[in-house]
Amino acid sequence: MTGIYVGPRPATELVAAVRAGGGRIVPAAEASAMIWYQGSPADFRALAHPGIGWVQLPNAGVEPWFEAGVIDDGRVFTSAAGCYAPAVAEHTLALLLAAARRLPELIRARTWTHPSPATLRGATVAIVGCGGIGRALIDMLVPLGARVLAMTRSGREVPGAEVSTDPSGLPGMLAEADYVVLAAPTTARTRAMIGAVELARMKPGSWLVNIGRGALVDTDALVEALRAGQLGGAALDVTDPEPLPDGHPLWTDPRAFITPHSANSESLLLPELAKRVRENTERFLAGRPLTGVIDPTLGY
């Protein structure tokens, strides 16, 4: 029976998932596959050996593994892409509703006010990087009456989106949207894809919502755009740098609110990751194609 290593932290949920998929848990030195959890690329280099043919990573975003030069080493690596889409989409919807209803401002108020909140009904939401999270978000937005624009790398038609485009359509999306949601991976092409020029193109009073990666946004440009009143605000679950340092201007800007990369906490992550681990263990043992295979040429 093929041996599979789970670690460096052998979470009980993942060990159980391997066994449920027909796998046998073994030390790293005896393994032909690894379910990687709570370890760095450097830790992986220390434990990996030529007999390891498949590595399941616990995250959807795998930038640190590319930066470490680990993924393009002849092994098959799979990510958790798609596992966490419903949970992250739900958090994104919470950010959008909080922005529309001005909840951060109202929660901080210490006197009775007369606000004029907005609604998502009839609003235009642009999703930049409309993969699994974006598609799950569309399923939540459409019943609320929002109009959705979707951008993907290929420009393929996205179900539920009124407009589907490739990156060439980004400037038009920015100018039209009331809310711009960033859900793309970080690659050489997407790093700092939202900078001063893009922020200036955004519709006055619109919101930037980032639940993808902090590096998608030029943070200094965002700080300046918020100070200048170009945007209605920014709702961020990810930042660059991350963690965002104490005293950073974004913490105190009245137009910004931040959640500490909590869209997919460990309590939400492990049950969904365990499902992927069981599925891919079954596939690996049967010699079938794995789910979530990382393409080194694309960077995700």
Tell me the pLDDT band of 297, cut-offs 50, 70 and 90. Answer: confident
* Catalytic (active site) residue 49: no
Residue 261 is classified by DSSP as: S
Could you confirm whether 121 is annotated as catalytic? Answer: no
| Residues in a beta bridge with 149 | 126, 163
> Average of pLDDT values for 9-18?
97
SS3 letters for 223-254?
Answer: HHHHHCCCCCEEEECCCCCCCCCCCCHHHHCC
Radius of gyration of the chain (CA): 21
Q: Look at residue 144 and tell me whether its pLDDT is greater than 90.
A: yes
For the chain, domain boundaries: 3-83+265-286, 85-258
Is residue 248 flagged as an active site residue? no
Percent of the residues in the chain that have a pLDDT greater than 90, as a whole number: 91
* Given the residues 213, 255, 276, 278, the one annotated as active site: 213
DSSP H stretches of helix in 23-160: 41-47, 63-67, 85-100, 103-108, 132-141
pLDDT of residue 1: 59
CA angle 13, 15, 18 (to 5 degrees): 110
CB atoms within 10 A of CB 289: 10
Catalytic residue among 101, 102, 248, 261: 261
pLDDT, tens digit (0-9, with 9 covering 90-100), for 242-257: 999 999 999 999 999 9
Average pLDDT estimate for 61-74: 87
Phi, psi at residue 32, to the nearest 5°?
A: -110, -5
pLDDT of residue 268: 85
- In angstroms, the Cα distances linking 105 to 69, 119, 135, 184 are 44, 16, 29, 28
Do 3-83+265-286 and 85-258 have matching folds? Answer: yes
Active-site residue (options: 13, 105, 176, 242): 242
pLDDT at residue 47 above 80?
A: yes
Assess if CATH 3.30.230.10 describes domain 3-83+265-286.
Answer: no
Over 90: is that where the pLDDT of 177 sits? yes
CA-nearest of 241, 253, 240, 179 to 209 is 179
Give the CATH class of 85-258: alpha beta
What pLDDT is stored for residue 73 in this prediction? Answer: 67
What confidence tens digit (pLDDT) does each residue in 92-102 have? 999 999 999 99
Q: What percent of the chain has pLDDT over 70?
A: 99
